[in-house]
Structure 1
Amino acid sequence: MEYRNHTDALEFLLLGLTHYPQVQPLIFSLFLSMYLVIILGNLLIILAVSSESQLHTPMYFFLSNLSFTDICVSTTVIPKMLANIEAQNQSITYVGCLTQIGFVPVFCLFENFLLAVMAYDRYVAICHPLMYMVVMNPRLCGLLILLSLFLSIVDALLLSLMMLQLSFCKDLEIPHFFCELAQVLKLTCSDTLINNILIYFVAILFGGVPLSGIIFSYTQIVSSVLRMPSARGKFKAFSTCGSHLSVVSLFYGTGLGVYIVSALTNSSGNTALASVMYTVVPQMLNPFIYSLRNRDMKGALRNLIRRGSFL
């Protein structure tokens, strides 16, 4: 097998969505539309939260960070894919590929931590309502965001640095529409044992711990709500968690779906389509979930649009 160590001259081919050449214009239009919806929807959430004083609470502070993260995830992968389709050239440079390998885990892990922090926020609000503003003070909220971002960056940086030690073979075709770490590792001629161990360690630690925190928080929430005497109080408590639960189910459900598809099928086309589910679909649907299920957010969006129409 031929080795290629001159990383500055390396070029990878992103072949994930090129199996259907006759529908490339349709794929371009579809992903461009989805990207615009992601940008517009999440930007509206951020503007609504920042412009409405009644939304200056920990829950909406975390939501605005979630929307910003969704914009970043999609921007890391979709524009390059659209440029390749438009130019009918599926190549990506080594530096570009390494950039995607670094930034996609940063934002995906950050979103993972954010969902856990938002679950903790709901736990404190429902189980300890009298202590809510004391516990979820601005200093703690900022610290949770910074800690989550720091851990995400450190992990992604470590994964990227490990990639720099690898040599690649002659065949540099990636069956995805972006440089996914697991797929790129399959193209190397070097020993990837340490890389794979690191990936599994990160998945278990930085994926399992936040998920366990979410499960624990909602276990306590359900237990507390069931002890409430009035049906109205129960409904109100559960309604404040509905949007977050929907986003959590979408995020982890799509991730699990990608894992199952990758494990059960050898079709690169199916694997590429499955990867769309966790890099595009949740980012597009999250603004709709929060805007349609949350009365305060709907009111803030209406006020924002009304003010914009008079400009």
Structure 2
Amino acid sequence: MGRYGINAEGVEALNQLARNLFINANEILEANTKLNDSIVEYSDELGIYGELILDITQVNILSLNNARLDIEFLASEILKKADQVRGLLCLFDETDIKINAENTQNIFNNSKDGAVDHAYKGLQQTKQGTEELFLDGKRVTVFDHPFSGENNTICNQGSGFPSGPQQTCGCCACGSIMNKTGLNFDERKVVDYAWQNKLCGEDGSTQLDGLIKIISGLSGTPSSNTTGQKLETLASEVEKGKGVIIAVLGLNYHPSKGWLTNPFASMGHALVLDSVIRDASTGEILEYIVVDSNGRDRSDACRRVPKDVLEKAYNRMQYQSLTTDDIIW
């Protein structure tokens, strides 16, 4: 247990332990799915025994799911401990104290709470259009022009706090949504406001209701908690010109080597649901386009994600989302 001491190595060890637990929990869920799929696949050959086998395996699957939930809870508690240890380290590290002091300074000197005097007015209809083009050999329709100059609305993580709070994806997603209304927010402005109004943690992390308050407080744009809505439904809201933020599980959303070593990949990650790619003939959704504040830069932040991949990552975070009440762009 020495490697879990109150030091930088201990924090990383705790984060790694939590990552491993989340990965194991994810593997349990995948195994359950594969088992069910295999039994269903051979149901014709199994005949009357198929249902008997499913009844038997269902008991085991229930136990495995309970174990997975316990593992995920344990991993979450470990991450909380890692944050506490990180906080203790800051108390004894003058460099971190200086950084934290600078990060939490109120840069909104015109208002005690940092709110922006912005008279918000919703639009009657979206100003964006849908274009038809050929993509990967298919005729598709794409809402807006997600890979064009609109990238100047994107807030990137690390731009305001390269050495400070690292879990600012929610704040940056809020910034990107508000910038679609014609404002100009960056990571530092949004995180400072959230910090002053107790809407984020020391690490910059946020909850869904906090994001709604951030958007309303800084831009006057009303939003609602739309948790439980299917991604296809939210995509239709995006095509109306509304702003949508979703929570996804990083390990499912972008299961690359980089994400597997990312200390926050096993936690929730906030994305702006920015556009939709549909089959031009059937209207079926083929891909989603998201704004990911964790990109290297603005051009890297706008990403195409296969339909099944994003829906799975969104489902794993219990369908958490918010949607602006009005059309914003």
- Give the TM-score normalised by structure 1: 0.30
Task: Specify which structure has the bigger relative contact order, considering alpha-carbon pairs within 8 angstroms and separated by 6 or more residues.
Answer: 1
User: Which structure has the highest helix share of the two?
Assistant: 1
More strand by share: 2
The alignment's TM-score, normalised by the length of structure 2, stands at: 0.28
